[in-house]
Amino acid sequence: MTWTRRRWRRLVVVVIGAAIASATAYAYTAGGTAPATHAGFGTRSIGAYTVSGASYTLNATSPQDVDSVQLSFSGTLPTAGTTVKVQLYAGGPFHACGAPSGGSVTCTTSGETAVGATQLTVVAVN
């Protein structure tokens, strides 16, 4: 079978088209840059705070409500930069505490009832 001029032209056009398409695709992909990033893994021991005591302040007008919880810590004491929160029942809201001072901290728990306070969870992060 002999190739005619028309077939050669088609072949040349297809080859040129493929070359242009591949050059264009390369130009789009070669132009992308990614920022330099870092990844890593490490371990560090986590120290725990020990709560040595907890006392509750009831509301003067409605004594069934708990206004605040005072926590005492022993051993390693939380410093002024430590965030402390308390939860009075499983699944309940966490209440913010004031800044630790002298090994104790006071947490405001307005809206909580003494009957509902079934579990004390303390979270302290520094």
Average pLDDT over residues 58-81: 90
Quote the pLDDT of residue 32: 57
pLDDT band of 6, cuts 50, 70, 90: confident
The percent of residues above 90 in pLDDT, for the chain, comes to 39
Q: Where are the beta strands (DSSP E) in 32-120?
A: 50-58, 65-74, 83-87, 95-96, 104-113
pLDDT band of 77, cuts 50, 70, 90: confident
Whether residue 26 is predicted with pLDDT greater than 90 in this model: the reply is: no
User: What pTM does this model have?
Assistant: 0.62
Domain coordinates in residue numbering, the chain: 50-125
Residue 103 region by backbone torsions, left for phi larger than 0, else alpha for psi between -120 and 50, else beta: left
Strand order in the sheet with 83-87: 95-96, 83-87, 121-125
Quote the pLDDT of residue 23: 65
